[in-house]
Amino acid sequence: MILLLKSEAERISQITSKKVSEFTHRKEGVKPYAFIMRKTSDGKCVFLKDNLCTIYGAKPLICRFYPLKLDFQGTKKYAFNYTNECPGIGKGPRLEKEFFNKLYAKFVERMRQNS
């Protein structure tokens, strides 16, 4: 499930010349996200071609973070978590605090753009 901020959907729309409704569905109850990316008939992202992201420069935060995710903890608090679907969890190098600080800074930047 690829969730999108409103600003991300608008940016992708600009660079692809597609209407937001052509590649997303509205999604309620997943703040701060507003949309979910449509998938192809085989369940892949509509912007994945030959196993490459065709919108790499504008890819959503959720894709940049994968297999990590930010869970809203309430009152402007977020916590990093991971998705169990990734077979690489626990097999790579240990991620240090600086790595998460950089990811969070990217999130804050995108949230400002989303306002």
Tens of pLDDT, residues 36-95: 999 999 988 999 999 899 999 888 988 888 888 777 787 778 888 888 777 777 788 888
How long, in residues, is the chain? 115
- 9: pLDDT strictly greater than 90: yes
How does DSSP assign 52-64, residue by residue?
EETTGGG--HHHH
Contact indicator for 5, 60 with CB cutoff of 8 Å: yes
Contact indicator for 77, 104 with CB cutoff of 8 Å: no
pLDDT at 25: 93
| Confidence grade of residue 23 (pLDDT, cut at 50, 70, 90) | very high
Annotated domain spans of the chain: 3-114
Contact indicator for 40, 46 with CB cutoff of 8 Å: yes
Residue 43 neighbours by CB under 8 Å, 6+ apart: none
- 20: pLDDT strictly greater than 90: yes
pLDDT at 55: 94
